Amino acid sequence: MKTLYLTRHGETMFNRQHRIQGWCDSPLTKRGCDQAREMGAILHERGVNFDTAVCSTAERASDTLELLLGALDMPLAYERLKGLREMFYGDLEAQQDFLAENDPEACRTYYLQFGGESSDTVRDRMVATLTDTMRAPGHDCVLAVGHGGANFNFLRAVTDPMPILNAGWGNLTTCVYTFDETQADELPDGQGAGPWNLVDVIRLPN
């Protein structure tokens, strides 16, 4: 059984400014950098030892990954994967976040009218990308740094996401999944069937 730690990047300038942040990017704040190091310290305490690291192509994700690995004293080479990018919000990119749709069901199609992605498209590319990553030889304990929306859509592919969302979905929220290679050709059904199983959620202390 393989293990995936899928985490959200640290706080960014756009997070602080309450702007919609999808394929556009903004730098980590000092707090965001500290959050990445703090999660690294938590995983170090737990004795986690990664053999593989990946992240989305956004700088906020790769910076988070580097800081987290630094706190673990684990200088792994890593790969940036387009499939782990945040949802694309089209014309709403970098706009104030009161324009965003927060209801998960409405989100499935809301951003299409602005030239963005559907959440089902995001879900499917996240599943495909992470499945390919976990199937690779030697990828037994993988750290992946992604984004709040994209990571949420992967979560809903595996199980009911609402209890986890309602308990807190802040920066560096880390979902821990097991991956069963013997079921790798099966698609998750959102109810626990398939190769993926959510086994833990790690959050930063308030």
172-191 tens-digit pLDDT:
999 999 999 999 898 888 88
The maximal CA–CA distance of the chain, rounded, in angstroms, is: 46
pLDDT tier at 29 (50, 70, 90 boundaries)?
Answer: very high
What tokens does 92 get?
């709403």
SS3 of residue 188 by DSSP: coil
The per-residue pLDDT for 85 is: 98
The per-residue pLDDT for 109 is: 96
Please report, rounded to a whole number, the percentage of residues in the chain having pLDDT higher than 70. Answer: 100
pLDDT tier at 124 (50, 70, 90 boundaries)?
Answer: very high
Q: Mean pLDDT throughout 102-109?
A: 90
The per-residue pLDDT for 183 is: 93
Per-residue pLDDT of 52-105, as tens digits, reads 999 999 999 999 999 999 999 999 999 999 999 999 999 999 999 999 998 988
Closest CA to 178 of 4, 6, 53, 55: 4
pLDDT tier at 198 (50, 70, 90 boundaries)?
Answer: very high
- Can you list the alpha helix ranges (DSSP code H) found in 7-143? 13-16, 30-45, 59-71, 107-110, 119-135
pLDDT at 206 over 80: no
The per-residue pLDDT for 170 is: 96
Q: Output the CA torsion sign for 127, 130, 132, 137.
A: negative
